[in-house]
Structure 1
Amino acid sequence: MSRQAPGRRASRRLERRDAIMRIAQEHFLQHGYSATSMSHIAESLGGSKATLWTYFSSKEDLFRYVINAASMEFQRELTVGLAQTDSLEETLLQFCRRLIERIVSPSALALRRVVAAEAVRFPDVAETFYHNVPARLHHVLGALLDPHMRSGKLRTTDPLEAAEVLTSICHARCFWRAAFGLNEDVKAHEIQADAKLAVDVFLRAYSAPGE
């Protein structure tokens, strides 16, 4: 009987670990931390709890890895591809539209809920989510705003603070209705309206005098 090459064994182990995390993420985001058991995850995986223990030392350990991976993916969805356009207003509309689309998605809402629910039990998880998602997003947006402050299109202030203000405005009508389950199917025209409102309010507050 031939033995598997070390590289192939490592690859299979990585694939198995990824499969565990995908299934665990589905369980944690759908049912929450407390209602998810390693037995349920193992059953969905088609293995045993003993298999899970070889990859993760505990349910707590698995939960931390899952939330870290999910928040990193959420951050990539929000920030990859964001770029300046010739028009400041169009740049901001593009950003706000994209942000609202993501934050009202079922997966993003589920991730926020489970992190908020477990923030007291796992403060490190909440901190990881904060640094991976909102803090990273604010820095990316701040970098988009800074050149417009330097050129005089926006009044000179802290670009990071301005970024925090704009993202806060985006968490308005569509987001709150979706967050409370009042609107499970947010329409494109609703997202567009919220994005336009956010940009209008922001530019009224931050446009340089005379612009």
Structure 2
Amino acid sequence: MNAPVVAIKRGRKFDQVLAGARDVFLRDGYEGASVDEIARTAGVSKATLYSYFPDKGILFLEVAKTECLRQADQATAEWDTDAPPRQVLSQAAGHMLRFFLSDFGLQVYRIIVAESGRFPSLGRDFYEAVPMQVRQTMMAYFRGAIARGELAIDDLELAADQFTELCKASLHGQLILGVKATASEVEIDRVIRGAVEMFLARYGAASGPARV
């Protein structure tokens, strides 16, 4: 899939199309999802669907981006970025991990991994739209914490990516591979505490001079 970049038309039934597409993609996967079925589930004609999304790949990316960015906006709106790093990072880790482990988060991850080999631009576009935005949000917080003398980080991009990966430790891989069906709050809290403790052990202000 190498669809050109196009401006998405928004109209009265835009959200209705997204909701129907979300249900079909999560049930049938990217390749298995037909435009006919998406239109039927959304309760719109194919002509209406195509008027908004001329390409199925564009529609999938919009579904995934909309939900992921909604989750990210909700999370950052609740952050008190002036609070101590342990509190802010714990909030961030909690939101990220619970989204990673949600049915939607797991299914989107599976679809992207399964389809990006055949449709490389799908993976690239998703990465730029979601993980890169999470990285930018974390980096913005790090800059403020460094300026306040709370963190000492010399590579902001690496630190942001490391924190995200720490939040996936153990549980994400087990649920993705079907080793576990669910994760308990006790298990989630354990991963959150571990991620924050390890990150602060490396990047807490006591680890070295504050750098940008």
Q: TM range, normalised to the smaller chain? A: 0.7 to 0.9
- After superposition, what is the alpha-carbon deviation per residue over 1:102-154, rounded to whole angstroms, capped at 9, x for unaligned? 11111111111112222233333322321222211122122222233234333
Give 1:48 deviation, angstroms.
4.5
Confirm or deny: 8 A CA contact 1:71 1:132 kept in the other structure: no
Confirm or deny: 8 A CA contact 1:78 1:137 kept in the other structure: no
Query: Percent of aligned pairs with the same residue?
Result: 28
What SS does the corresponding residue of 1:33 show, helix, strand or coil?
helix
Shift in CA distance, 157/14, structure 1 to aligned 2, threshold 3 Å: same
In structure 1, the partner of 2:69 is 72
Report the Cα distance in structure 2 between the residues aligned to 1:165 and 1:98, rounded to whole angstroms. 16
What SS does the corresponding residue of 1:135 show, helix, strand or coil?
helix
Report the Cα distance in structure 2 between the residues aligned to 1:69 and 1:157, rounded to whole angstroms. 32
- Matching residue's letter, 1:127: R
The TM-score, its normalising length taken from structure 1, stands at 0.80
In structure 1, the partner of 2:83 is 86
Aligned counterparts, 1:106-117, within 5 A: 106-117=103-114
1:41 maps onto 2:38 in alignment:
yes
Shift in CA distance, 44/209, structure 1 to aligned 2, threshold 3 Å: closer
The TM-score, its normalising length taken from structure 2, stands at 0.79
Give 1:191 deviation, angstroms.
1.2
Report the Cα distance in structure 1 between the residues aligned to 2:48 and 2:146, rounded to whole angstroms. 55
Give 1:95 deviation, angstroms.
1.5
In structure 2, the partner of 1:189 is 186
Give 1:51 deviation, angstroms.
4.5
1:101 maps onto 2:98 in alignment:
yes
Name stretches of at least 5 consecutive residues in structure 2 with no aligned partner: 1-9
- After superposition, what is the alpha-carbon deviation per residue over 1:50-102, rounded to whole angstroms, capped at 9, x for unaligned? 44344433434433443343443343344333232432212211211221111
- Matching residue's letter, 1:82: W
Say which one has the larger Rg.
Answer: 1
- Matching residue's letter, 2:159: A
Counterpart selection for 1:15 from 8, 12, 17: 12
Q: How many residues align?
A: 199
